[in-house]
Amino acid sequence: MKNKLAVLLIFTVCLTGIQAFGQVLIGRNFWDRSSHPTYGNRIQCFTQWSLLPRWQVTAEQGFMHHDMPFLNYRYQYIPEIPFVGRYESPYKFRHKILVINASSDMLEIAPRNMRQGIIPNVHQFQNIGEIMAVADLKCFVTAVITGKGTHPDNETMVGKEFNLGYHGLLAQYNSESSQQPDIVTFSRDIPVGMFVPKGILAASEETFPMERVSNIHVSCHRGKDDDDSAYISPDNAKFVPIAEISSFWTVAKIGDQGEYIYITYHLLCNTSRIADAVRKAVFENDDYNEMLTAVKQVGESLNLDEFSKGVLRDWVDNIAHVSRPFNQDDPLI
C-alpha cells in the first residue's frame, strides 16, 4: 500500500511540474536567411516559440549566435517552412516575423480535405497523428506570420502575385540523400497544396494548387553562363493576396514515398503598417499569451476592415486553441 501511495505521489508531483512549466517555450531569435541577399541593413530575424514536443527550425541563431545548420550553404532557406516572395532578379523575399513550432496535434483544427490530402481516406475524427506515427511518417508542423521583407514601406503587397518556395526543403533533402552538401544543380517535383485560403486569389497562371495536393516543379541550379552562382526557379507556385491580412494552410511531401510531411499555417501581413505593428507586438512581449493578445489587437488598433480583422482574429484564436496549457485554470486569450 505504501509503495502504491509513493508511486501516486511521484506521478502527481511530475504532473504538477509539467503543468507549472506550461505548454510553450520561447527560443532565440533566428536570422531569416531567405531575405538575406537584398536585405541591406534591415532587421532580418524572427522570434520562435515551440509547443510540446519542443523542436527548432533549421536557421541561423541571432544575434550573437551564428552557427551554420544548413547542409547546403548555397541555398540557406529554412527547409521546414516555404518562403514567400516575388520571382524577380534578385528574388524579392518577404521575411518571417513569428514562427511557432507545433506537432500533429495542431491538425485537429485542419479541414477535412487537407487531412485527406495528407492521409487519403482518413476520417475527420480519427487521430491523424497516431496514424502517421504507426506508418512511420515524419511530420513537421509550424505556424508562421510573414511580413513585408524587402518591400519598401510605401509599397502594398495587396493585389500582387507572390510565389511559395520549397527550395530550402529540396536542398536539405537532396543533400542528405545524395551526400553532396555543396551540389549546385538539382530539381524535383514536390506534391504540395494550399487549403482554406482567406484573402487569397489564384494567379494569372502557374497557381499554387488550391484545396488539393498536386506536384509543382522546384529547381536549384547554376546560372545561364554555367558559373558557380546558385539560382532558384521556376516562376510557379503563385498566388495573389487581395486583403490587408490573409491566411492559409500549406502541405508539402517529400521522400521516396512522401514520408516527410511539412505543414504550415500562414498569416500574411500585406501592408507595411500591419507588418510593423505585428512585429512590434511579437518582439515586445515575452509572455506567450500576452504576445498573442497583442497581435490580435492590431486589427482594432489600426482600424482594419472587417474581413482582415476577422482573418487575424481567427488565426490567433486557432493558435491559442491548439497551444492551450495543460492546467485548465490557466487563462486563454
The mean per-residue pLDDT over the stretch 31-38 comes to 56
E-only strand ranges, the chain: 24-26, 30-31, 45-51, 60-61, 83-86, 92-94, 96-102, 138-146, 162-165, 186-198, 200-202, 214-221, 231-233, 238-241, 245-254, 260-269
Of 37, 34, 35, 74, which is closest to residue 228 (Cα–Cα)? 74
Q: What is the CB-side half-sphere exposure of residue 308 using CA atoms within 13 A?
A: 22
Residue with cell 513550432: 101
**CA pair distance 296, 281, nearest whole angstrom:** 9
Q: How does pLDDT run across 270-323, given as a tens digit for each residue?
A: 999 999 999 999 999 989 999 999 999 999 999 999 999 999 999 999 999 988
Q: Which amino acid is located at 204 in the chain?
A: S
- Tens digit of each residue's pLDDT (9 = 90 or more) over 79-137: 999 999 999 888 889 989 999 999 888 988 898 999 999 998 888 778 888 899 899 99
Q: How far is CA 10 from CA 2, 14, 29, in A?
A: 12, 6, 36
Number of Cβ within 10 Å of residue 221's Cβ equals 15
Place of cell 506521478: 11
Residues 6+ apart with CB under 8 A from 103: 51, 52, 53, 129, 139, 141
pLDDT digits (tens, 9 = 90+) for 57-86: 887 665 444 556 777 888 888 999 999 999
Q: Who wins on pLDDT, 330 or 49? A: 49
pLDDT > 90 in the chain, percent? 53
Rounded to whole angstroms, how far apart are CA atoms 138 and 169? Answer: 14
pLDDT for the residue numbered 34: 63
d(CA 321, CA 296): 14
Q: For cell 497523428, name the residue.
A: 129
As a whole number of angstroms, the distance between CA 72 and CA 164 comes to 20
Lowest mean pLDDT among 11-15, 220-224, 246-250: 11-15
* Average pLDDT over all residues of the chain: 83
- Average of per-residue pLDDT across 137-166: 90
Q: What is the mean pLDDT of residues 1-30?
A: 47
Residues 6+ apart with CB under 8 A from 213: 117, 191, 192, 193, 251, 253
